[in-house]
Amino acid sequence: MIVPEIAGGAASELDSLRAACDFAVRRLADIGAPVIVLGSGTSTIDYESPVRVSLSSWGLPGDEVADPLPLSLSVGAWLVNRIPGRNVTCRMLAIATDASADECAGLAGRLATGPYALLVMGDGTARRGIKAPGYDDPRAQPYDESVARALATADVDALRALDPDLSAKLMVAGRAPWQVLAAAAAGGSWRASLTYDDAPYGVAYFVANWETA
C-alpha cells in the first residue's frame, strides 16, 4: 500500500508514511556508504548484484522476473529509487521469516567488513482491529508499543527479546530483520528517533532512524 500506483485511491492516506520513509532513506544515502537493504523472506538469501526489481506481482505495470525479490526487498528498492539524482550502491539481503534469534545474530556478523548503512524493512503486527488482515488480537497493540519504544530508543535488548512464536501469531514481518539489526548494533552508541508509528488498515508501520552518537 505504500506504493501509490498500487494503493490507487487510498494513496493519499499514507502520504505521511512515505514522507517519513523518504527522509530516512535520504539520510542513509547521505552517509555515502554502501546500503544493505534487509528484509524478511521465505529463506535467507544474499542476492547477487545487479538484481531486477519488479512489483508486477502486486499489480504494478512491469515485466515479470524469473526470481522475484521478496516484497520487503522490492519495496526497499522502490524507496531507494525514489531518491532523485542519487546513485546508491545497494546489496539485497533476505532473512528467513522464521529465523531464530541466534540465526539473526549470525547473519549480522556477516553483513560487511567495512562501513555500511542498513535499511531494515519490516512491518509490525497485522492484527490491529477487526478490519486487519489477521482480524483483531488484543496482544497486537502492546506488542507494537514495545517495538516502537525499542526503535525510538535503540533498545537492542528489547528487539532481541521479541518472541518468534508470538510474532508469527501476530503476523509480524519485521521480527527477524529487527533482530539482525539488534545484533549488528550491539555495543554501539546510537541516537535514535521514531518518525512514524501508526497502524493504517490494521497493520503496524514504523519508521525510525539510528545514527552513531
In the chain, % of residues over pLDDT 90: 68
Q: Which set of grid coordinates corresponds to residue 166?
A: 508470538
Match 501508526 to its residue by C-alpha cell.
198
Extract long-range pairs of 52-56: CB within 8 Å, 24+ residues apart: 53/77, 53/78, 53/81, 55/3, 55/6
Confidence tier at 87 by pLDDT (50, 70, 90): confident
Report yes or no: 176 and 147 within 8 Å, Cβ to Cβ: no
pTM here is 0.91
Q: What is the pLDDT of residues 137-149, one digit of tens each?
A: 999 999 999 999 9
CA-based nearest residue to 154, from 197, 209, 112: 209
Q: Between 88 and 103, whose confidence is greater? A: 103
DSSP character at residue 137: -
Q: Between 193 and 34, whose confidence is greater? A: 193
| pLDDT of res. 85 | 67
Q: What is the pLDDT of residues 42-73, one digit of tens each?
A: 999 998 776 777 676 666 666 566 567 888 99
Q: What average pLDDT does the segment 70-83 reach?
A: 89
Q: What is the pLDDT of residues 4-41, one digit of tens each?
A: 676 665 667 789 999 999 999 999 988 888 899 999 99
Q: What average pLDDT does the segment 190-205 reach?
A: 95
Q: What average pLDDT does the segment 76-103 reach?
A: 88
Q: What average pLDDT does the segment 201-208 reach?
A: 95
Report yes or no: 40 and 94 within 8 Å, Cβ to Cβ: yes
Rounded CA separation 52/69 (Å): 8
| pLDDT of res. 147 | 98
Report yes or no: 127 and 72 within 8 Å, Cβ to Cβ: no
Whether residue 99 is predicted with pLDDT greater than 60 in this model: the reply is yes
